[in-house]
Structure 1
Amino acid sequence: MTLYFASVLPGLEYVLSDEINNKVTDSEIIEINRGKVFFTTAKTFTCLSSLRSADNLFQVIDQFQIGPHKKHLSHVSERISQLDLDFIDHNDLFWVNASRKGKQTYSRFEAAKKVMEGINNHYPDWNIGTSQNHQVEFRLDIEHQHVIFSLRLTDATFRFRGQTRRFSRASLLPTVAHAMVHLSDPKSTDVFVDPCCGSGTILSERATYSAKRIVGGDVSGDVTKVAKSNIDDTKAQINVWDARELPLSNGCVDKIVTNLPFGRQISPDEDLKLFNHHIMNEICRVLKPTGRAVILSESVNQLLGEAKRLGLLCLESYSLSLKGLNPTLFVFEKQDEL
């Protein structure tokens, strides 16, 4: 069993741990910290790459203790120089990124330099790259006296699903969109709707699972063009519509997952409270009894009030740290009609 950790948007740690348990069958969650989930598994990287709520994946190489002063950095280089790193391709340029939390008298850059010295002491033929030019990236995380040394397994293309995707203004990160889809408990029989689909990130993530039907829409024709360019027509139907008046019949939808407008998505002259009121009415109307709605919004108190009025039970909520904002992710279930 190998120890790994996955980085994740703060607030989604337990969503990611649930995804790990569901997709990595032999995994054991070891520890959950802010923005990180540690777990062990014997599975290959191919299996780990199915964890679409994770921002990045790391293999833990070593853990040890260190003091808070500059003189203690010599212990870092000594410790690293004793590690067996033969499993890494030495023909590639390497780099070390470091972070620190605590009252140390040294900087993270000084710590990273000591790691590179330690690697070169053991492997003098290995070449150090730059922050912008390297193929192998190590990570050193110092939290007070505890140190974790790891190898980064993923690059930026992992969390952004490649370089060809187009994003509209204020688009969700694919990792956050996938966490929302995961919370909807996707089933192959689902009729799935995103009433405010934007550039289609949520729809794209839902399309990684089978479904009876996947539908999305947005009030902007330009934005829906971006969404259509991101999604295969055979996987999702995309419409121009007003989410406050959905062209869908009552009780026809199993799952709704959507990012309601907030922050930079709202124009100064728009009445957000009224907007949310109408959208929540429509969400409740089109949902089947026991249907699930996963909604991201900054209007915490209003959404809880609207949900109570409409008979939507709040199953879970997660406070996120997202682009300087703190929206809440809600999981609602429509009460079964008596």
Structure 2
Amino acid sequence: MRLLARTVRGLEPVACAEIHERQLGWVESVRHREVVFHPVGDALTLRTVDDVATLVAEVDGIGVSTSDLRRLSAAIDRLEVSEIIGHGSNVDVSASVVGARRFNRYDVEDAVGSRLPGYRSRRGGVRPPDGLTWRVTIEGSLARVAVRLGRAPLHRRPYKVASVPGTLHPPVAAAMARLAGVAERHVVLDPCCGAGTTLGESPGLRVGFDLDVRAAAANLRGVTLAVADASALPLADGSVDRVLVNPPWGRAVRPGGGLTADLAPLWRELRRVVTGEAVVAALLPDGVTPAAFHAVRRVPIRVHGRPAVIHVLAG
């Protein structure tokens, strides 16, 4: 069996590292937002990917014309569809296409879905009822067709029942924790915790502060939360091993308190509270560089369609 993992753009190498380090399989190939791998463990436990699906077909020779989609339809006709779908299931198809074509994602979805019993189209922005989701990706001349392995996308975390504007995507938070090397023995801080997503994706003794922690309190258990300004953290000097932070960018969330003018007070305060061996993972818009820390690694990604960077920092 071969599986296709979908990722946030830029997190493909992080997903590969998680698959390898957790001995969940071996990676066959990587391309835009996807990793194909052969599983040897429970792939549904992956944290840094958006979703995982079973690869059921690969179709080469897809060009730029709508007529090329007949190859996709013919490939579905050759599958034992009834064995994949079962009986009485609602079926939807989600497609993504890299590069300019004379067809759009809905054309791709309908080319595949029209061959599947129980198909509900997304065309026109309609959200189909819950059911079995097929995934189609086209990059270059190669199309891949896969069927979701779990009942829901992996990025939907059961703990996340409350949200806030600008809330962090859980696989991105998980990637930040992995890049920072967070472990059970660490004291982990998020000084701008929002809905608590970074802490929900981390082991260790977790501490979160924000000007409003109600969403984080609804989502998390076993975490120390308190209302505090990120420019004046109620922590002792040198008391934190790891920091995961997605500070307000001034887009979905306006900075407040001591960060209203700029983020400089945040970086000064983090320098005070971290240990000498601490690591900081900070998600910032592209072009913004954190002060007072040494950059160990930069991981460019895209968040809500915008370029961003996960900065891995040391003292």
TM-score band w.r.t. shorter chain:
0.7 to 0.9
Once the two structures are superposed, the pairs formed by residues 17-28 of structure 1 within 5 Å of their partners are 17-23=16-22, 25-28=23-26
CA–CA distance in structure 1, aligned partners of residues 226 and 260 of structure 2:
24
CA–CA distance in structure 1, aligned partners of residues 19 and 234 of structure 2:
37
Residues 117-153 of structure 1: per-residue CA shift (max 9 Å, x gap) = 444xxxxxx4333441351121222223211111123
SS of corresponding position for 2:45: coil
Whether 1:188 and 2:184 are equivalent positions in the alignment is: yes
Per the alignment, residue 122 of structure 1 pairs with none
Shift of 1:73: 3.5
Per the alignment, residue 91 of structure 1 pairs with 88
Distance 1:285 1:148, change over 3 A: same
Distance 1:226 1:96, change over 3 A: closer
Contact 1:160–1:173 under 8 Å retained in 2 = no
* Sequence identity percentage: 24
Whether 1:313 and 2:308 are equivalent positions in the alignment is: no
What runs of 5+ residues in structure 2 fail to find an aligned partner?
123-127
Once the two structures are superposed, the pairs formed by residues 123-138 of structure 1 within 5 Å of their partners are 126-131=117-122, 132-133=128-129, 135-138=131-134
Distance 1:314 1:90, change over 3 A: same
Residues 220-274 of structure 1: per-residue CA shift (max 9 Å, x gap) = 2xx2122111111xx1100111211222111111111111111325548988696
Identify which range, 168-177 or 259-268, moves more after superposition.
259-268
CA–CA distance in structure 2, aligned partners of residues 7 and 239 of structure 1:
35
Contact 1:79–1:118 under 8 Å retained in 2 = no
CA–CA distance in structure 1, aligned partners of residues 157 and 255 of structure 2:
33
Contact 1:273–1:302 under 8 Å retained in 2 = no
Residue from 21, 28, 38 that aligns with 1:30: 28
TM-score w.r.t. length of structure 1: 0.81
Whether 1:329 and 2:310 are equivalent positions in the alignment is: yes
Per the alignment, residue 224 of structure 1 pairs with 213
Where is the helix percentage greater, Structure 1 or Structure 2?
A: 1
What runs of 5+ residues in structure 1 fail to find an aligned partner?
120-125
SS of corresponding position for 1:18: helix
Which of structures 1 and 2 has the bigger CA Rg? 1
Contact 1:95–1:128 under 8 Å retained in 2 = yes
Whether 1:61 and 2:56 are equivalent positions in the alignment is: yes
- Say what the alpha-carbon RMSD is for the aligned residues: 2.6
TM-score w.r.t. length of structure 2: 0.87
Once the two structures are superposed, the pairs formed by residues 223-302 of structure 1 within 5 Å of their partners are 223-232=212-221, 235-264=222-251, 267=254, 275-298=262-285, 300-302=287-289
Paired residues in the alignment total: 308
